[in-house]
Amino acid sequence: MSEKYSEDQIQRFPFMDKNLDLEKRVEDLLGRLTLEEKFKLSSGRRMWHTKPIKRLGVKPFTMYDGPHGVRADTLGEIKSTYFPSAICRAATWNPNLSYEFGKAVGEEVRDVGAHMLLAPGINIQRTPMNGRTFEYQTEDPYLNKILAVATVKGIQSQRIAACVKHFVCNNQETNRFTVSTEVSERALQEIYLPAFKATVLEADAWSFMTCYNKVNGIYGSENVNLLKERLIEEWGFRGFTVSDWNATASTSTAECVKAGLSLEMPTAKKYNKTNMRKAFQEGGFTEEDLNDNIRRLIRVMFLVGLYDDEKAVPKGSRNTPEHQAIARKITEEGIVLLKNDNASLPLNINEIKKIAVLGPNANLRTEGDDIMSSGGSSINYPPYKISPLDGLKEKCLNQVELTKIPSEADATIIFAGLNHNPGMDAEGEDKKSFELPSEQIELIQKTANECANTIIVLINGSPIAMNSWIDNVSSVVEAWYGGMEAGRAIASVIFGDTNPSGKLTLTFPKKLSDSPAHVSKRTFPGDDKVFYDEGIFVGYRHFDKKSIEPLFPFGFGLSYTSFSYENLMIDKKKIKNNDVIKVSIDVTNSGKIEGKEIVQLYIQDVKSSIERPTKELKRFEKVSLHPNETKTVIFELKKEDLSFYDEAVNSWVVETGAFNILVGSSSRDIRLQGEIDYLE
């Protein structure tokens, strides 16, 4: 924890004076370190900490997992709020909630005495089979950028460093320690890098974690192009880079130092003193190379207040009612209603008498089947867990009978889906199947024959096939992994206390072969190399290009009310250079209950010299409306929103000509269309 330094200490070591300019503090401390001490600071110890330099009063810098709540130990003795998975948070399409999550989890990190959270994970969802899809946000670079920036700002508002990961193209778990991602410059620029870049330019992210994989033949931890040339020199990153845990295994000490890897975790291997000394003496790197790496690390130590007294840094808090309320709010807004035949949902608690509750994910608190306490770096130990069954019992208390016999029930809810066991939604390996487990499919089909109103609630973190059963059920609810308040949030949606407003942040294909990565073994999972032959055509861009009908499209989500779109107005029909275009739309709640709609704006280049997507998301807004209420949504567009990356000139380019502005409720539900012309 922070402590107060005496006047004598501050006089001896000016870097301890919080009133001194940041960069002067950094240079003062850097100048006092010996070469051996710099070697020592370059690697971690005891899994989560840097090494102290007792001679100078340099304290350990502590960093913890994870992306859905801080985990300060491996035994579960230190409890912390378990927030919904990143894919659920992203499905809210609500940047304010990403900020609130970041702020809350930052408070929890500070409360356990740490200085950095190993989050957010912002890798693009390239394949539905990635074991870590649930940890990431979306297939779309623009949505990814907006939510990543909000999350980083929230975390760092508490003077806790966000560690943005995994830089870059860590899009699968298969062979993740060795595979080389073979990806074009255009795909990097348009799809995989924008969110990472934005967290630097717009949120001043204080740390980046390097990926396990190679990118175009070079490991992330020693990739000069990624770390030095792009991140540091081009984007102006002032924080430090840290390896993913043991990601340096096959790298070179000298190459990592020269590339700009500040910190090797969890312990000294490539960065042990012997290797560092040898590489330095042989001229593998210079002291200035090393200085810049250490300078970045100690800069963040000052930014998080490691040398300031306790009164000078934000006060932490953990497991508060406020944090639990944020967790529940995210889950409620992130739940996506995928199907609702005959308005089967919401259930009316005053009319329904008996509900059958089935499925393996109804009660997630049993030993060995605990979704909250497994899954790799996402493991959490919350103070309590509200399972879906708990939530239903709490809601239905003394009003509705819960049974296990569908034939006797007015409605049956099957809590199906996946869990964090290996081969499902878990770090370390990709999913083994795109289908639900066969016993769940059989349960759904059998139950649908016994009960006319069968509702499927999916608890999972990635797309799954539904063709074998979806036509037989009345409703499908995508509830994701909803954190410790999941049960209450699900019950709130089922009974209509919350009108669902989440929308998909990735395309759900009907079959796996429809997905862009699943053309051949070459494109997934690869062998020594995995080839991103689809280029920029990831997610809905691919489905549009190939005219493939998805099971559910990007941006899709139903509501218990309806919304109408009218009066698309564009203030300029012809634009050039630095003009700002204002686009306005009137959105009306044309139904009978209050609801939230996510208005999405896509751009389409009508004629281009190179192949471009049919449409690309460029703006969105979540708007809350009472019945019959109309609000005007205004978007501002700039020249850069019309651009593509041209590899021939290694630059972003906007070509003259017509562009369509498409506004709608999903990527496949465009309600209004207008046109503008770009002039030189």
Q: Where are the domains of the chain?
A: 321-545, 563-679
Handedness of CA 257, 262, 266, 271 (dihedral sign): positive
Spatial contact of 559 and 669, defined as CB atoms under 8 Å apart: no
Sorted by sequence, the CB contacts under 8 Å of residue 283 that are 6+ apart come out as none
Map residue 122 onto helix, strand or coil: coil
3-state SS assignment for residue 106:
helix
- Separation CA 286–CA 291 (nearest Å): 9
d(CA 346, CA 365): 26
**Low-confidence residues in the chain, pLDDT < 70:** 1-6, 10, 364-374
| 605/259 Cα distance (integer angstroms) | 38
- Give the angle subtended at the CA of 249 by the CAs of 243 and 251, to the nearest 5°: 80
Provide the Cα torsion 291, 20, 109, 99; round to 10°: -100
What angle is formed at CA 35 by the lines to CA 32 and CA 41, rounded to 5 degrees? 85
pLDDT of amino acid 368:
36
DSSP secondary structure of 11-33: HH-GGG-TTS-HHHHHHHHHHH-
266 CB contacts (<8 Å, ≥6 apart)? 44, 45, 46, 47, 48, 245, 246
CA 652/CA 400 separation, integer angstroms: 60
CA angle, corner 305, sides to 303 and 308, nearest 5? 135
Residue 340 CA to residue 346 CA, distance in Å, equals 9
C-alpha to C-alpha distance for 549 and 556, rounded to whole angstroms: 13
DSSP string, 269-283: STTSHHHHHHHHHTT
297 in helix, strand or coil? helix
Separation CA 153–CA 66 (nearest Å): 17
What is d(CA 334, CA 490) in angstroms, rounded to the nearest whole number?
10
And the tokens for 31?
A: 């100048």
CA dist list (Å): 580 to 162, 201, 572: 32, 21, 9
With CA atoms as reference, report the closest residue to 357 among 333, 385, 391: 391
CA distances from 53 to 34, 61, 279, 301, 605 (A): 10, 11, 22, 13, 57
The backbone region for 673, taken as left when phi is positive above 0, alpha when psi lies in -120 to 50, beta otherwise, is beta
Determine how β-strand 116-117 pairs with β-strand 63-64: parallel
Coil, helix or strand at residue 211: coil
pLDDT at residue 542, as a whole number? 98
Secondary structure in 3-state letters for 5-16: CCHHHHHHCHHH
Q: How many CA atoms lie within 13 A of 352 on its CB side?
A: 24
| Class level of CATH domain 563-679 | mainly beta
Per annotation, catalytic residue among 244, 425, 514, 544: 244
C-alpha–C-alpha distance, residues 236 and 200, integer Å? 7
Q: How far apart are CA 400 and CA 225, in angstroms?
A: 61
CA separation (Å) from 7 to 12, 16, 398?
A: 9, 10, 66
**How many CA atoms, within 13 angstroms, populate the side-chain half-sphere of residue 166?**
28
As separate numbers, helices (DSSP H) first and strands (DSSP E) second, the chain gives 17, 27
Report domain 321-545's class: alpha beta
**271 Cβ contact list (under 8 Å, min separation 6):** 39, 42, 43, 248, 253, 256, 264
Q: What is the pLDDT of residue 71?
A: 95
Question: In this structure, what token pair is assigned to residue 519?
Answer: 């053309």
Residue 109 and residue 64 in contact, taking contact as beta carbons nearer than 8 Å: yes
Q: Which residues contact 514 (CB under 8 A, 6 or more apart)?
A: 543, 548, 550
Catalytic site residue 244? yes
